[in-house]
Amino acid sequence: MGVIALAWWQLALAALMVVALAGCTVLARLGMGRRLLVAAARTVIQLGLVGLVLEALFSVARFHWVALMALGMLLIAGREVTARQTRRLRGGWAFGIGTVAMFLSSFTVTVLTLTVIIGPEPWYRPQYAIPLLGMMLGNTMTGVALALDRLTDTAWRQRAVIENRLMLGQRWQEAIGDIRREAMRSGMMPMINAMAAAGVVSLPGMMTGQILAGSPPALAVKYQILVMFTITLGTGFGTLAAVAAGSRRLFDGRERLRLERLSAPRD
């Protein structure tokens, strides 16, 4: 059973409805008609380009091209993590910590899943590797960004509390312990919520896609479970690593709180 082909003119119909929505938001003075249209245009262009790239990648299926694509995805995710923080660590640390944390968790889990669990031939076969890594990175990115934003923002607000705890002779880990735990929780919460609601409230996107493409639902469900577990692993370990490194960077070698290492918010 094949998939029903979609023609561009059929997409144009959907696009027309988005334009109609933009018109309505302008009438309602929500002030986001322009942003909506720009985001919609970005979707078309970005996905169109990635389609071309994937077509080319699938036809060559060479390891170094797959690795290059993965590296590009990682760097863009790192940039996105940085952009989503109100107060970020200066001097490239926000980007560095976010990117390294995502690399360690997402790449390790993806490679493990490919080699040990799914086992395509060769293991880096782009039809499996790239979508899997994309889903991992997308979710890990959200978790890491949320956690780091929570960490730096709370540390900023609670400066006096942290310093008072230091004055009483507490180690830096203890003085920022509550904030660290809160940040880790907020990074892992979306994934835990998604697992709890999966299939009851929403049908996960990947499973839906597989079913639309003609897979039997039982197989689609197995893949979905696997993907949700790996995403949770990636997000969890990524968040833990990012918060551990980020909170260490808020203190210096003398265990002093150094909030001047955070940049001021832009707005």
Partner 1 sequence: MPATEALRLDRLSVGDLAPVSLTLAPGEILCLSGTSGSGKSRLLRAVADLEPHGGEAWLGETAQSSLAGHAWRARVMLVPAESQWWADTVGEHLPEARRDDLEALGFSPEVCDWQVARLSSGEKQRLALLRALSREPAALLLDEPTANLDDATARRVEAWLCARIRARGWPVIWVAHDPAQIARVADRHRRIVEGRLEEAGAWA
Q: How many residues bind partner 1 (CB under 8 A)?
A: 19
Closest separation in Å from C-beta 260 to partner 1: 10
Task: Please state, in angstroms and rounded to a whole number, the distance separating the CA atoms of residues 262 and 267.
Answer: 15
196 binds partner 1 (CB under 8 A): no
Tell me phi and psi for residue 3, to 5 degrees.
Answer: -90, 145
221-260 binders of partner 1 (CB under 8 A): 252-257
72-131 binders of partner 1 (CB under 8 A): none
Of the candidate spans 41-49, 105-113, 165-173, 183-191, the one that interacts with partner 1 by CB under 8 A turns out to be: 165-173
Residue 183 tokens read as 């940040």
**Minimum CB distance to partner 1 smaller for 2 or for 253:** 253
Contact of 36 with 50, CB cutoff 8 Å = no
**Minimum CB distance to partner 1 smaller for 20 or for 160:** 160
Closest separation in Å from C-beta 157 to partner 1: 12
Residue 259 tokens read as 């909030």
SS3 79: helix
170 binds partner 1 (CB under 8 A): yes
153 binds partner 1 (CB under 8 A): no
Closest separation in Å from C-beta 242 to partner 1: 23
Closest separation in Å from C-beta 174 to partner 1: 8
Closest separation in Å from C-beta 243 to partner 1: 18
Q: Name every residue whose Cβ is closer than 8 Å to that of residue 260 and which is 6 or more positions away in sequence.
A: none
Binding test (CB under 8 A) with partner 1, winner from 88, 150, 165, 249: 165
Binding test (CB under 8 A) with partner 1, winner from 36, 53, 161, 221: 161
Closest separation in Å from C-beta 256 to partner 1: 6
Rg of the chain over CA atoms, in angstroms? 22
Task: Please state, in angstroms and rounded to a whole number, the distance separating the CA atoms of residues 106 and 234.
Answer: 5
Measured in whole angstroms, how far is the alpha carbon of residue 205 from the centre of its chain? 15
Residue type, 88: R
Beta strands in 50-170 (DSSP E): none
Binding test (CB under 8 A) with partner 1, winner from 178, 194, 221, 244: 178
Residue type, 228: M
Closest separation in Å from C-beta 170 to partner 1: 6
Length of the chain measured in residues: 267
Task: Please state, in angstroms and rounded to a whole number, the distance separating the CA atoms of residues 111 and 128.
Answer: 11
What CA–CA distances, in Å, run from 45 to 83, 159, 166?
21, 44, 51
**Minimum CB distance to partner 1 smaller for 80 or for 163:** 163
Binding test (CB under 8 A) with partner 1, winner from 160, 196, 200, 264: 160
Which residues of the shown chain bind partner 1 in the complex (CB under 8 A)?
160-161, 163-172, 178, 252-257
